[in-house]
């Protein structure tokens, strides 16, 4: 057998091993065992639901939706935000007036006043990546503005609101190029980071994370939790003066994790 053939086979085997390991670490081959008395049931049909956040004062959940299969087929169909009333069980697509391409990812809400609820959405447009700011009025989204930094925030995933226009956002890759992102994924490199936006500028506050994914604040707002599906853990940080993040510990999950959130009882939930 020629050396070139042996080398080609070796390269293919290495690629296959990396792909299988990545899928395994993401939990593709795991067996799910229930340790809870809770049960799940479908509440409706939504194309490509990605993230969910609940307004506990009203019992309404907001869900980001984007038909990625259609996008992969070359159909650039705008995504949407859905609302689900946990009391009446009503699911509906929210009306909107935004005049741009909309492919929502992570979302978060913050109440500024009793009657002023804001929704912030990570949005991937063909011309860049943005945090879109909306005012929620009933079942309608009123577009306010777009926030961007294409130099630092070029692969945003999820956001966690501190106050109006002040938030943390995960940037799930450290490389901008498609090749660089692919190498990060399959080599499981810790190049992603957490950004902080102070209302004017973005700044990196935590680095060295293997695919920084979902992000959420603790109920007392003193800690920030970041899901690392490639690292198979949830990373905990203390929020210091100036919104500096000090690493505290990892919650080992032994599987890929995302969509983390705290419930009203203070329990941390994660999609695995």
% of the chain surpassing 70 pLDDT: 98
The residue assigned the tokens 């920030």 is: 224
| Distance separating the N- and C-terminal Cα atoms of the chain | 45
Q: Which of 245, 118, 249, 266 shows the shortest CA–CA distance to 169?
A: 245
203 vs 194: CA distance, rounded Å: 9
Q: Where are the domains of the chain?
A: 3-271
The 10s digit of each residue's pLDDT in 180-230 is 998 898 888 999 999 999 999 999 999 999 999 999 999 999 999 999 999
Q: Let me know: does 197 contact 215? Beta carbons within 8 Å.
A: no
**Entry pTM:** 0.90
Q: How many helices (H) and strands (E) does the chain have?
A: 3, 19
The 10s digit of each residue's pLDDT in 30-61 is 777 777 778 888 887 899 899 999 999 999 99
Q: What's CA 253's distance to the chain center, in Å?
A: 17
Q: How far is CA 240 from CA 158, 207, 224, in A?
A: 21, 16, 10
CATH of domain 3-271: 2.120.10.30
Q: How far is CA 93 from CA 31, 46, 53, 98, 183, in A?
A: 34, 9, 15, 14, 37
């Amino acid at each position: 057998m020629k050396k070139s053939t042996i080398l080609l086979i070796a390269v293919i085997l290495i690629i296959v091993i990396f792909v299988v390991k990545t899928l395994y670490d993401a939990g593709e081959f795991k067996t799910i065992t229930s340790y809870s008395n809770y049960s799940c049931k479908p509440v409706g049909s939504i194309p490509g639901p990605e993230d969910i956040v609940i307004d506990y004062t009203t019992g309404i959940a907001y869900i980001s939706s984007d038909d990625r299969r259609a996008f992969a087929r070359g159909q650039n169909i705008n995504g949407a935000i859905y609302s689900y009333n946990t009391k009446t069980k009503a699911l509906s697509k929210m009306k909107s007036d935004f005049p741009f391409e909309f492919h929502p990812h992570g979302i978060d809400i913050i109440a500024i006043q009793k009657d002023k609820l804001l929704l912030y959405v990570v949005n991937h447009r063909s011309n860049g990546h943005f945090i879109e700011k909306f005012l929620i009025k009933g079942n309608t989204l009123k577009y306010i503005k777009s926030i961007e930094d294409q130099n630092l925030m070029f692969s945003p995933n999820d956001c966690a609101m501190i106050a109006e226009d002040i938030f943390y956002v995960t940037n799930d890759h450290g490389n901008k190029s498609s090749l660089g992102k692919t190498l990060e994924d399959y080599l499981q490199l810790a190049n992603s980071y957490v950004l902080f936006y102070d209302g004017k500028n973005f700044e990196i506050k935590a680095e060295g994370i293997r695919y920084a994914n979902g992000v959420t604040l603790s109920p007392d707002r003193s800690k920030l939790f970041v899901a690392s599906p490639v690292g198979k853990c949830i990373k905990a940080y203390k929020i210091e003066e100036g919104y500096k993040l000090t690493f505290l510990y990892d919650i080992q999950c032994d599987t890929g994790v995302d969509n983390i959130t705290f419930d009203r009882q203070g329990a941390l939930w994660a999609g695995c």
